[in-house]
């Protein structure tokens, strides 16, 4: 009979409490699956007195995360405090340094310090598991780390932030503005009081950095990710996208190109028929393009106490079974430096929405500027405000013009639009959304 795995949990919010509950209620199944028992021996959290609806009798209360991480009785340190810095960073580092295994749901910590922590895990022999850090119970880490172990990956992309997808879904379905939908998301608890981490794309960027490392064997580096958020997206963009057979999603995309691994987060037009376009509301999804095989898409809840706890417990069960995978799939020595592929060299189709001051004269001017940059136009649509009726005062009203380009380079688009703005033939700033093909 193998001794049970002794677990210490730092952080007893919704996820932590649910982990404690699952380990108790699923004890028999977990023991059967792991070949040994799993027991919570010690915990710590900010407040000892808070009501959590779990039974902590017989469980030691450690005085702080560091004491728990280095507790001689703990085999597996479970970090559910969050945050890229201390106390999470020091505690995880100390646990790994002591040869313990670590399970964490902390994407920020991994995106910023993943390489250093993986080195510590490799050196001292502990596991570093983090299935819950990306897509909660969606098994995307396991799939990239183990399920596609022998398959080259060309691209991995997905909807990694439920808040943004909820907002874009409601904007599309109800024609509402970004601000209105954000307010609703905040009211429903889908968005934080300060929503910038989500809506500006940083949450997605952290998760993407982790997926990119697993997919391509690069050293995880949040700084290598180009980031744009969704706050500039207008209902008219979503309407135009729909008319053209697309939906707009905030995607994280990591893709192998001739210039290196591109990692980017931005609003993206995806074909309405694609699996990723069907994903609505707070649901997350990740698509993996493996060499020579059709895409694999994993869809499910990207957050929530029960879904996150499910992934954490599965990671603990893997530790109990003695599985020691390389945290990022490959040994540290095989991970390559992450060269940030410059966004200016990004190649793809573009959606461009402009307000033309004087159509059709302006259309010719715009077409000329695009032609100068060798950008081919797939379609151009002029959208009459007021159904095309002349304004009562006879003054020229800016006319929205929507262009779809064939594949071109980001810098060509930027140069062309700068020239158009200089020409003073448009009002305001052009809206640009990148197109991602299946």
Segment interacting with a second copy (CB under 8 A) among 31-39, 109-117, 257-265, 374-382: 31-39
Taking only Cα atoms into account, the Rg of the chain, rounded to an integer number of angstroms, comes to 25
- What's the distance, CA 226 to chain centroid? 12
Burial class (CB in 10 A: 0-12, 13-18, 19+), 243: exposed
Q: Of 309 and 365, which has the nearer Cβ to a second copy?
A: 309
Binder to a second copy among 323, 343, 377, 397 (CB under 8 A)? 323
Q: What is the per-residue binding string for a second copy in 256-285, x denoting contact by CB under 8 A?
A: -------------------x--x----x--
Binder to a second copy among 206, 310, 362, 408 (CB under 8 A)? 310
201: left (phi over 0), alpha (psi -120 to 50) or beta: left
Cβ count within 10 A of residue 256: 19
Segment interacting with a second copy (CB under 8 A) among 144-152, 253-261, 343-351, 419-427: 144-152
How many of the chain's residues bind a second copy (CB under 8 A)? 59
Q: Say if residues 271 and 438 touch (Cβ distance below 8 Å).
A: yes
Q: Does 314 bind a second copy (CB under 8 A)?
A: yes
Binder to a second copy among 14, 151, 373, 382 (CB under 8 A)? 151
Binder to a second copy among 99, 331, 361, 385 (CB under 8 A)? 331
- 298: closest CA among 307, 3, 35? 307
Phi, psi of 428 (to 5 degrees): 65, -165
The DSSP line for 23-39 is HHHTHHHHHHHHSS-EE
The yes-or-no answer on residue 207 being catalytic is yes
- What's the distance, CA 315 to chain centroid? 20
**Helix, strand, or coil here: 355?**
strand
Q: Of 82 and 217, which has the nearer Cβ to a second copy?
A: 217
Segment interacting with a second copy (CB under 8 A) among 85-93, 138-146, 240-248, 408-416: 138-146
Check 6, 142, 207, 249 and give the catalytic one.
Answer: 207
Q: Of 218 and 408, which has the nearer Cβ to a second copy?
A: 218
Both tokens of 129, joined, read 């598991």
Give the C-alpha separation, 399 to 420, whole Å: 15
CA-to-CA separations, 386 to 138, 226, 374, in angstroms, rounded: 46, 38, 34
Segment interacting with a second copy (CB under 8 A) among 1-9, 27-35, 263-271, 344-352: 27-35
Q: Which residues bind a second copy (CB under 8 A)?
A: 22-23, 26, 28-30, 32-35, 131, 137-139, 142-143, 145-152, 217, 275, 278, 283, 290-301, 304, 306-307, 310-311, 313-314, 316-318, 321-323, 325-326, 329-331, 334
Active-site residues, by number, are: 207
């Amino acid at each position: 009979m193998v001794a049970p795995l002794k677990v210490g949990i730092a952080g007893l919010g919704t996820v932590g409490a649910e982990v404690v509950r699952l380990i108790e209620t699923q004890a028999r199944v977990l023991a059967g699956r792991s070949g040994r028992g799993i027991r919570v021996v010690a915990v710590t959290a900010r407040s000892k007195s808070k009501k959590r609806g779990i039974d902590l009798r017989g469980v030691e209360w450690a005085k702080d995360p560091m004491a728990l991480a280095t507790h001689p009785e703990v085999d597996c340190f479970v970090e559910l405090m969050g945050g890229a810095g201390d106390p999470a960073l020091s505690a995880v580092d100390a646990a790994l340094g002591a040869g313990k295994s670590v399970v964490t749901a902390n994407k920020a910590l991994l995106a910023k310090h993943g390489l250093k922590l993986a080195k510590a895990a490799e050196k001292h022999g502990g596991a570093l598991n983090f299935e819950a850090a990306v897509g909660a119970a969606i098994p995307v880490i396991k799939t990239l780390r183990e399920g596609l172990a022998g398959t080259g990956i060309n691209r991995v992309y997905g909807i990694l932030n439920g808040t943004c997808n909820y907002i874009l879904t409601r904007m599309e379905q109800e024609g509402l503005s970004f601000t209105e939908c954000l307010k609703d998301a905040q009211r429903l608890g889908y968005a934080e009081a300060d929503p910038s981490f989500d809506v500006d794309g940083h949450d997605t960027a952290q998760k993407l950095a982790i997926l990119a490392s697993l997919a391509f064997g690069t050293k995880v580096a949040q700084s290598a990710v180009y980031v744009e958020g969704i706050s500039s997206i207008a209902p008219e963009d979503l309407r135009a996208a729909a008319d053209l057979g697309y939906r707009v999603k905030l995607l994280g995309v990591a893709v192998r190109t001739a210039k290196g691994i591109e990692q980017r987060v931005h609003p993206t037009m995806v074909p309405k028929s694609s699996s990723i376009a069907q994903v609505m509301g707070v649901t997350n999804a990740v698509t993996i393009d493996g060499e020579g095989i059709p895409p694999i898409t994993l869809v499910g809840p990207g957050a929530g106490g029960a879904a996150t706890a499910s992934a954490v417990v599965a990671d603990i069960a893997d530790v109990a079974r003695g599985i020691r995978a390389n945290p990022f799939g490959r040994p540290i020595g095989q991970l390559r430096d992450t060269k940030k592929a410059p966004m200016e060299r990004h190649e793809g189709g573009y959606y461009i929405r402009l307000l033309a001051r004087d159509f059709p004269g302006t259309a010719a001017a715009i077409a000329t500027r695009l032609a100068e940059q060798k950008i081919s136009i797939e379609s151009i649509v002029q959208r009459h405000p007021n159904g095309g009726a002349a304004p009562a005062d006879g003054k020229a009203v800016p006319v929205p013009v929507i262009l779809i380009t064939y594949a071109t380079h980001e810098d060509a688009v930027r140069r062309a639009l700068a020239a158009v703005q200089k020409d003073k033939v448009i009002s305001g700033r052009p809206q640009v959304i990148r197109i991602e093909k299946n």
